[in-house]
Amino acid sequence: MRHTTKQIISAVLLLSLIFSGSWLSVPATAYAHQETITVTANTVNVRMGPGLAYDTMAQLKKGDKITVITQKNSWYQVRLASDKIGWVASWLLKNTEISSATNVKGTINTANVAAKENPADDSDTLGTLQENAAVTVVYEQAGWSQILFKQSVAWIKTAYITEQKNKDNTQKSTQQLTVDQSIKSMTVHEANAKLRATPALGGRIAATLTRKTQLTYLATAGDWYKVQTQAGKTGYVANWAVTPSTSNKPVTTNASDLAEATIVLDPGHGGRDSGALSQKKTYEKTYTLQIVKKIAAKLRQAGARVVLTRKKDKYVGLAPRPALAKKVHADAFISIHLDSSPKDNQASGTTTYYYGKSKDKPLAKALNQQFNNLTLDNRGVEFGNFLVLRDNKQPAVLLEMGYINDRHDYKRIRSSYYQTKVADDIYTGLKQYFK
Ligand SMILES: [Zn+2]
């Protein structure tokens, strides 16, 4: 079928619309390929540096578009529409919504290309790329290309990349349909987006959609969504022209500092180290993991980045635990344990331990304040010379959440009700602490 002139002109217009957004938002220098992200959380803070310790310089709202420059400590350095540059917690932005239309794909054309940390020959080498390896370019400056590399980014000389030619768009119409269960509906954010009969730029235009049009999601075909309009028309819309809304939103609360925090949770013991014993001959390691999983779920729901020192019943030595906290730049480290007295039924209650007076005690106090509502005695905040606290560079506490060899404490420790209450208290305590 021959395309009419009108169809070709509208395809060109659509293309120029797609690209004009990214060209206008950057200074007219060498920056070429952008990684554009649409904000899906309700509000996200933009900070002066990669971490909670830096001041907030701006706030992003749902639907705002930003450009990723680089990544550090799981934070993105971004350029805002206002051309300001700042940092946001990467886990608050949905990576999956990076528009593939703005990334350039290419292949390596030389043997053993060094992937560099920075765009300079004397910069550290992060790894080697083989000839013909496929790369995604997210950014380009002064002869260097920033590429996606091992869950992060690296720089290589642009001359080592052969840019992939745009494939014939009509090929895409044979693409298979898949259904993403998390997407329910979507909103058009591009002015005059086209609903097409086939998932391709050359596809026949079934309707022109104005901004803020709501669409029902049916399926995904490559870079296209199969959708239905409210008038009942079915067709395909480009994924860069719409914002999908998912049933399980990553962040439902308003922006809080807790959402930007990285929390390391440390379930005491594990594997061949079973910890203390209950009178029923069950192990401390089992309950510390159960409690930590409840805390993790609660904190993740609030948007926080949560890292566990162990996720299952396996042995982890003491030293790797604070080391992990340092590696991920944790804003708080919380170790969960259960106490044991020399004889059964001798002692009861919870104790909150800190090591450093200025580094750890404020965190200990904030958490401990919440434990007054637990059905166990709050034995208060105390100094504790534990390795996981002593060797920790990050704010750290160790919580003994009851005596496992006390009859009454044990009943609570193993109950889902008590474990959930502990998780709720730690969530509230952390919210206070990060305020
Ligand atoms: Zn223990």
Is residue 125 domain-resident? Answer: yes
- Residue 223 pLDDT: 77
What is the CA(275)–ligand 1 centre distance, in A? 5
Q: Is the same domain home to 272 and 293?
A: yes
> What's the pLDDT tens digit per position in 269-278?
999 999 999 9
CA distance linking residue 372 with residue 380, whole number of Å: 9
Higher-scoring residue by pLDDT: 5, 368: 368
Q: Is the same domain home to 121 and 241?
A: no
- Residue 166, C-beta contacts closer than 8 angstroms, at least 6 positions apart: none
β-pairing verdict for 134-141 and 183-188: unpaired
What is the CA(248)–ligand 1 centre distance, in A? 35
Residue closest to 310 by CA, chosen among 320, 301, 297, 298: 320
Averaged pLDDT of the chain: 81
What is the CA(266)–ligand 1 centre distance, in A? 11
Asked which of 170-174, 280-284, 336-340 is least confident by mean pLDDT, the reply is 170-174
Share of the chain above pLDDT 90, in %: 41
Is residue 23 domain-resident? Answer: no
Q: How many domains does the chain divide into?
A: 4
Average pLDDT over every residue of 306-313: 94
What is the CA(307)–ligand 1 centre distance, in A? 19
- Residue 21 pLDDT: 34
What is the CA(327)–ligand 1 centre distance, in A? 23
- Residue 267, C-beta contacts closer than 8 angstroms, at least 6 positions apart: 285, 288, 289, 291, 292, 308, 309, 310, 336
What is the CA(283)–ligand 1 centre distance, in A? 10
Q: Is the same domain home to 93 and 107?
A: no
- Residue 14 pLDDT: 40
Higher-scoring residue by pLDDT: 421, 185: 421
- Residue 74 pLDDT: 83
CA distance linking residue 87 with residue 58, whole number of Å: 10
CATH number at residue 40: 2.30.30.40
Q: Is the same domain home to 236 and 369?
A: no
Is residue 252 domain-resident? Answer: no
Q: What are phi and psi of 249, to 5 degrees?
A: -65, 140
Amino acid at 73: N
- Residue 292 pLDDT: 97
Query: Radius of gyration (Cα) for the chain, nearest Å?
Result: 26
> What's the pLDDT tens digit per position in 320-345?
999 999 999 999 999 999 999 999 99
Is residue 3 domain-resident? Answer: no
Amino acid at 188: V
- Would the pLDDT of 311 be above 90? yes
Q: Is the same domain home to 176 and 146?
A: no
Is residue 179 domain-resident? Answer: yes
Q: Which pLDDT band holds residue 147 (cuts at 50, 70, 90)?
A: confident
CA distance linking residue 435 with residue 433, whole number of Å: 6
Sheet of 224-228, strand order:
205-209, 193-196, 234-238, 224-228, 214-221, 183-188, 242-246
Q: Which DSSP letter does residue 301 get?
A: H
What is the CA(279)–ligand 1 centre distance, in A? 16
Q: Is the same domain home to 111 and 234?
A: no
Query: In the structure encoding, which two tokens stand for residue 386, read together?
Result: 């534990």
Is residue 21 domain-resident? Answer: no
Rounded-to-10 torsion of CA 304, 305, 310, 312 = 70
What is the CA(337)–ligand 1 centre distance, in A? 4
- Residue 36 pLDDT: 78
Higher-scoring residue by pLDDT: 160, 97: 160
What is the CA(390)–ligand 1 centre distance, in A? 16
Taking a 5 Å cut-off on Cβ, the residues next to ion ligand 1 are 268, 275, 337
> What's the pLDDT tens digit per position in 60-95?
887 888 888 887 878 888 888 777 788 998 887 754
What is the CA(268)–ligand 1 centre distance, in A? 5
> What's the pLDDT tens digit per position in 208-250?
998 888 898 888 887 788 999 988 889 999 877 787 775 433 3
Amino acid at 144: W
Q: Which pLDDT band holds residue 256 (cuts at 50, 70, 90)?
A: low
Is residue 13 domain-resident? Answer: no
Q: Is the same domain home to 334 and 222?
A: no
Q: Is the same domain home to 264 and 142?
A: no
Q: Is the same domain home to 294 and 421?
A: yes
Higher-scoring residue by pLDDT: 141, 257: 257
Is residue 19 domain-resident? Answer: no
Task: HSE, CB side, 13 Å, CA atoms: give it for residue 19.
Answer: 9
Q: Is the same domain home to 277 and 356?
A: yes
What is the CA(267)–ligand 1 centre distance, in A? 9
Q: Is the same domain home to 217 and 298?
A: no
> What's the pLDDT tens digit per position in 150-163?
766 788 988 898 87
What is the CA(278)–ligand 1 centre distance, in A? 12
Q: Which domain range does residue 90 map to?
A: 31-99
What is the CA(340)–ligand 1 centre distance, in A? 8
Q: Is the same domain home to 108 and 154?
A: yes
What is the CA(405)–ligand 1 centre distance, in A? 12
Q: Which pLDDT band holds residue 364 (cuts at 50, 70, 90)?
A: very high
Cα–Cα distance list, 177 to 202, 221, 239 (Å)? 18, 5, 14
Amino acid at 65: K
- Residue 323, C-beta contacts closer than 8 angstroms, at least 6 positions apart: 391
- Would the pLDDT of 366 be above 50? yes
Cα–Cα distance list, 379 to 242, 268, 352, 421 (Å)? 54, 20, 8, 17
Domain boundary among 50, 73, 99: 99
Question: Where is mean pLDDT largest: 120-124, 194-198, 309-313?
Answer: 309-313
The length of the chain in residues reads 435
- For residue 91, the tally of other CB atoms under 10 A from its CB is 21
Domain boundary among 71, 99, 127: 99
Domain boundary among 215, 246, 277: 246
